[in-house]
Amino acid sequence: MIELTIERGLLDDNDRAAQVNRDRFRKAGVYVLNLMSGPGAGKTTLLEQTAQRLRDRLRMGVIVGDIQTSRDADRIGRHGVPVHQINTGGGCHLDARMLEAALDAMDPASLDLLIVENVGNLVCPAEFDLGEHDKAMVLSVTEGADKPAKYPLMFCQSRLMILGKVDLLPYLDFDCDAAIADARALNPGLEVLRLSSKTGEGLEAWTDWLVGRWRAVREGR
C-alpha cells in the first residue's frame, strides 16, 4: 500500500485572494497600508488626524474593520474622506476576501492612499496577507513595553512601529528604548515613530512617511 500525504496551507485561499487584491492595487496605482494594533491603541484618532493633515496632499480612503458597529468609520468619515465599514461579526481580523468585497464599494483608482484599519488585536491580523504594500502597527505606551517579546509576529511583519500616546509617558512606567530594542531584535529594519495624536507630536513625521511610501510605490521602489 502506498501512503500519500497531501499538505495544503491553511492560508492558501487567503493568499490567492490577496494576490488578486495586489494586482488590483497595482493597476489602480494606489498605495495600501494595513494599520494594526491592540484594541484601544489609538488607530482611529490617528486616522482622524491623518485625514485632516493629508487632505491637500493625497486622495485618501479608509476601510475600517471592527467586530460590531460603524462608530470608528463614522468618526473618520466626518473628516471628508471616503470610508467603508467591514463588520466581522466576531472575527478577530480582516482577511483578503473581506477586503476584496469592500473594494467593490470603494474604487481604488480614485485614491492615492488606502489605509485599512484592521480589527484591534495584537495576534491574528498579522497572520493574514491582504495584498497591501506595507503593514504598520501602533503600540500605545499604555500597553506595556513587553509587548514585542510577548506578541512577536506583528512586530516582525511591520515596516513601521508607531509608539503612540507618548504624551502620557510622564505618568507611566514605560521604557521606550527597551520596547524599541526588543522590536528591532525581531525585525532589524523596523522603522519607529514616536507620536501623540493629542498634542500633535510626531504627526508631521507620520504624514511625511505616508507620502514618501506613496511616492516610492508609485515609482516602483
Q: Encode pLDDT of 131-162 as tens digits.
A: 999 999 999 999 999 999 999 999 999 999 99
So what's the pLDDT on residue 3? 55
Question: Do 34 and 151 meet the contact criterion of CB atoms below 8 Å apart?
Answer: no
- Per residue in 30-68, pLDDT tens? 999 999 999 999 999 999 999 999 999 999 999 999 999
Question: Do 204 and 211 meet the contact criterion of CB atoms below 8 Å apart?
Answer: no
Of 21-25, 89-93, 152-156, 208-212, least confident by mean pLDDT is: 89-93
Residue 95 has pLDDT above 90, yes or no: yes
Distance CA 186, CA 159 (A): 12
- 181-to-2, 93, 111, 149, 192 alpha-carbon distances in Å: 51, 27, 36, 10, 11
Q: How confident is the model at residue 220 (pLDDT cuts 50, 70, 90)?
A: confident
Question: Do 51 and 111 meet the contact criterion of CB atoms below 8 Å apart?
Answer: no
Of 9-13, 53-57, 204-208, least confident by mean pLDDT is: 9-13
Residue 69 has pLDDT above 80, yes or no: yes
So what's the pLDDT on residue 10? 62
- Per residue in 180-200, pLDDT tens? 999 999 999 999 999 999 999
Domain boundaries, the chain: 12-218
Residue 22 has pLDDT above 50, yes or no: yes
pTM for the whole structure: 0.94
Radius of gyration of the chain (CA): 18
Residue 203 has pLDDT above 60, yes or no: yes
Cell digits for 194? 514616536
Residue 80 has pLDDT above 50, yes or no: yes
> What is the pLDDT of the chain when averaged over all its residues?
95
- 127-to-96, 122, 152, 156 alpha-carbon distances in Å: 11, 10, 11, 11
Nearest Cα neighbor of 182 from 209, 210, 163 is: 163
**Percent of the chain residues topping a pLDDT of 70:** 95
Residue 6 has pLDDT above 70, yes or no: no
**12-218 CATH:** 3.40.50.300
Nearest Cα neighbor of 57 from 209, 221, 207 is: 207
The full DSSP string for 148-210 is: HHHSHHHHHH-SEEEEE-GGGGGGS---HHHHHHHHHHH-TT-EEEE--TTT-TTHHHHHHHH
Residue 7 has pLDDT above 50, yes or no: no
Residue 175 has pLDDT above 60, yes or no: yes
Distance CA 67, CA 120 (A): 9
Please report where in the chains the cell 468618526 appears, as a residue.
Answer: 75
